[in-house]
Amino acid sequence: MQAINVETTADRFLISIDKNLMTKEMLLRLLNQLRLESLAQRVDFDESVEDLGEEIKDSWWQQNKARLLQGAE
């Protein structure tokens, strides 16, 4: 048996992984990452979301830069 085996059916990928290859926790993290990737591919944001993100970062920096740079002097 291979460490990782992938079978394809009409509507599914069936993946089997040797338990000696990874822990259950590692597998759950991997599955969660796959779920997040799948969700990210379905999201259809326009450029305004990036602009909003920049505004949020700039605002946060203006509010926190004095506190963060205080110890750097």
Tell which residue, 46, 53, 12, 14, has the closest CA to residue 4.
14
pLDDT of 19 strictly over 70: yes
pTM: 0.54
- pLDDT: which is higher, 3 or 45: 3
Q: Which residues contact 30 (CB under 8 A, 6 or more apart)?
A: 22
Encoded amino acid at 47, one letter = E
Going by the DSSP 8-state scheme, the letter that residue 37 receives in this structure is: H
**Total Cβ atoms within 10 A of residue 57:** 10
Instruction: Provide Rg for the chain, Cα atoms.
Output: 22
